[in-house]
Amino acid sequence: MTRSSAIEARPVGLAAPGGGPAYWVRFWSVLLLVDLAIQYLLGMYVNLFVALPASWSWPAMMGMMAAAGVGALMLHMMNGYLLGLLAVVSLPLAVMSRRADLVVWSTAGLLGIVLAGVSGLEFMFTGFTVNAWSFLMASGALLALVSYLVVATLSWSERSSSQVPAPSPGL
């Protein structure tokens, strides 16, 4: 086997487990998809089974947490912060992959999570009565879900036309 064929026969770093940024982009995007599914189920549980007060204040928030079922709302909120953290970690990995498609879709996913989080807080601050905030929260979550699904799918391909080519080894 010649030196050049040995180089060509090695697995491409982007496809090998732990071998490159696209692998880690795929790993984090799948992790985000799983957490987005958990977030969706928590949100549906809160929406369907938790009686939320029409008005509340910050001091009453601690008492509200002790109420039956409202702990699910707090879990939903904390998981939202976790989603934001995961999205912030995944974006630099997409940038390191040097693939414009992964960067664009990862950015869209992060923006969807931010939209969902801000809208969810606004929904809570308005006493859970302004349904437009709830709609925006759901729309942001859908944007994030679709974006990270696209990221996971695109990161399976080893190369993309938008990837900056690596320098060829001198022989």
Domain spans of the chain?
Answer: 13-154
What are the CA-CA distances from residue 114 to residues 28, 82, 136 (Å)?
17, 12, 11
Decide: 113 and 87 in contact? Cβ < 8 Å. yes
Q: Would you put residue 50 in left (φ > 0), alpha (ψ -120 to 50) or beta?
A: beta
Average confidence (pLDDT) over 100-123:
95
Distance of CA 39 to the CA centre of its chain: 11
User: 122-132, pLDDT tens digit by residue?
Assistant: 998 888 889 99
Structure tokens at 79: 């998981």
Q: Supply the pLDDT for residue 78.
A: 94
Give me the amino acid identity at 97: S
pTM of the full structure: 0.76
Q: Which of 48-57, 93-102, 143-152 has the lowest mean pLDDT?
A: 48-57
User: 72-92, pLDDT tens digit by residue?
Assistant: 888 999 999 999 999 999 999
From CA 161, how far away is CA 142, in angstroms rounded? 27
